[in-house]
Amino acid sequence: MKILIIGGGGREHALAWKIAQSPKITELFCAPGNPGTASIATNLDIPADDIDSLIQFALQQSIDLTVVGPEQPLVLGLADWFQDNGLKVFGPSAKATQLEGSKVFSKVLMQKYNIPTAAYAAFDDADEARAYLKGKGPQVVKADGLAAGKGVFVCADEAEAVDAINQIMNDRIFGESGNRIIIEERLEGQEVSLLAFTDGTTVLPMEAAQDHKAVFDGDTGPNTGGMGAYSPAPIFTPELKQEVIQRIMVPAVNGMRADGIPYRGVLYAGLMITDKGPKTLEFNARFGDPETQPLMMRMQSDIVPIMEACADGTLDTCTLEWKPEAAVCVVMASEGYPGSYERANRSTDSIRPTRYWESRCSMRVRNKRAMRSLPAVAGCWVLLPWVIRCKRQLKKRIKRSVKSNGREFNTAKTSAKKPYSFILEDSDSQQSTQGKPLIFTTESTEKIFKIK
């Protein structure tokens, strides 16, 4: 099979790493890809939103399956255009992608099909929105449209909520995505992400992951697109998973189909585990970033037949197997992120791991142009028998290794109490690994990190 992956971030690198392991693969392409994907696929100089060029390439190369990573091409209708040209694609249609592309659309669906979520109100007028806040207490303000994961403001009081409304609707920090907003009750609990494959009828859930969005340690600072993630999520018991599937995932897929908008691809549910049970914070129409990185490391099954089944409507014939180990991803970002940040930072010169660390975990660094225009510049995965020790060691090693100023880290607390193993991905090394993970035994890991 020839497969084309669309996108150029850490998510797409993880997808390429997993897809490349399939015995069905003969050629793998990434558009545009990054230095990590370059070691396991052919990168193309085609932007992810250049649909005409992507279709032309797919037709010329007789691509058997196209896998869409980012949300923007899906919102633009890439899946529809590919299907109209007789090309098989893994990803929802433009109409189905409204589930992520419009918070209002998503909330209406949840309300209609009794999917548990926070109480809300929608506004297209800033004055009405500000008036609604009177006496409401802590609220969450969200831009209706796409905002690269940064359009959510978790507000402690009315003043913070008013400021969020002003930024979104008056200052227009998200452009047209802020033409409408929703204001919803602020839920308390732990956040968990559950992703599932679906062909529009069958739902095949993955393992849960927990990401940490606050930019600084201690869950402080503004929300980002994600500063890291780990899987499994200790709080997400089998009983809780079954409840989420039955009350949230299945009703969402069935509801979309009942409304004449069949959903095929990956359905991402952002959840809050409250004292009253799980509630839906959001739906996304694609793999999450950075949740994809640890999930792909843990997935035992060949992902390609599952993606084909989603596109063909035969997902009921598939099953998923998972490795018992856990995986952690830590992201580094430029100072100022997610606000204004220095775009001319030469990250390739500043990331200088020691030989000791570099020989075991090369940073996944994007190409020079991308690093100068995007805030998140590297992500690391590591193999260790304990979740907490893994993150501590990653943090120490990264801080010790990075010489540039202004790198931000978040190593959010986890409640994991039992030992796990971790997969260490040597992302950029051109030597022997060829994109495969480096697996260390507990004994060798203890030697490497001097664990007592």
* Residue range 318-343: mean pLDDT, rounded: 78
Cα 82 to chain centroid distance, Å, stands at: 23
- Which comes out higher in pLDDT, residue 48 or 350? 48
- Class level of CATH domain 2-93: alpha beta
Tokens standing for residue 405: 């100023």
> Cα(89)–Cα(96) distance, rounded to whole angstroms?
14
Give the pLDDT score at 291: 92
More confident residue, 3 or 217: 3
What does 47-76 look like in DSSP terms, one character per residue?
-TT-HHHHHHHHHHTT-SEEEE-SHHHHHT
The pLDDT of residue 403 is 44
Looking at residue 389, its pLDDT comes to 52
At 341, is the pLDDT very low, low, confident or very high (cuts 50, 70, 90)? Answer: low
pLDDT at 220: 80
Q: Which residue has the tokens 């109409």?
A: 95
**Domain-wise residue ranges, the chain:** 2-93, 125-179, 190-317, 327-449
Per-residue burial over 79-97, b = 16 or more CB atoms within 10 Å of its CB, e = otherwise: bbbbeeeebbbbbbbbbbb
pTM strictly above 0.85: no
Where residue 364 falls among pLDDT bands split at 50, 70, 90?
very low
The pLDDT assigned to 225 comes to 75
3-state helix, strand, coil in the chain (%, to 5): 35, 25, 40
Lowest mean pLDDT among 10-19, 108-117, 122-131, 186-195: 10-19
DSSP string across 244-310:
HIIIIIHHHHHHHHHTT----EEEEEEEEEETTEEEEEEEESS--TTTHHHHHHHB-S-HHHHHHHH
State the pLDDT confidence band at 392, using cuts at 50, 70 and 90: low
Of the given ranges (154-158, 302-306, 372-376), which has the lowest mean pLDDT?
372-376
With a CB cutoff of 8 Å and minimum separation 6, the contacts of 192 are 208, 209, 210, 233, 235, 236, 271, 273, 278
Amino acid in the structure at residue 14: A
Handedness of CA 68, 71, 76, 80 (dihedral sign): positive
pLDDT in the model for residue 351: 31
Spatial distance between the Cα atoms of 82 and 76, rounded to a whole number of angstroms: 12
Q: Which CATH class is domain 190-317?
A: alpha beta
Residue corresponding to tokens 């249609």: 93
Q: What is the pLDDT of residue 405?
A: 41
User: 359 or 177, which is more confident?
Assistant: 177
- CB count within 10 Å of CB 69 equals 27
Q: Which of 23-27, 309-313, 332-336, 349-353 has the lowest mean pLDDT?
A: 349-353
Token pair listed for 110:
């949840």
- 226-252 residue pLDDT tens: 788 888 898 999 999 999 999 999 999
pLDDT tens column, 195-229 = 999 999 999 999 999 988 787 777 788 777 778 88
Q: How far is CA 3 from the centre of its chain?
A: 21
Given a cut of 70, whether residue 96 has pLDDT beyond it is yes
CATH of 125-179 given 3.30.1490.20, 2.30.110.10, 3.40.50.1980, 3.90.550.10: 3.30.1490.20
Q: Please, which residues have CB within 8 angstroms of residue 448's CB and are 6 or more apart in sequence?
A: 360, 440
Choose between 451 and 326: higher pLDDT.
Answer: 326
Within a 10 A sphere around the Cβ of 304, how many other Cβ atoms?
Answer: 22
Instruction: Give the pLDDT score at 9.
Output: 85
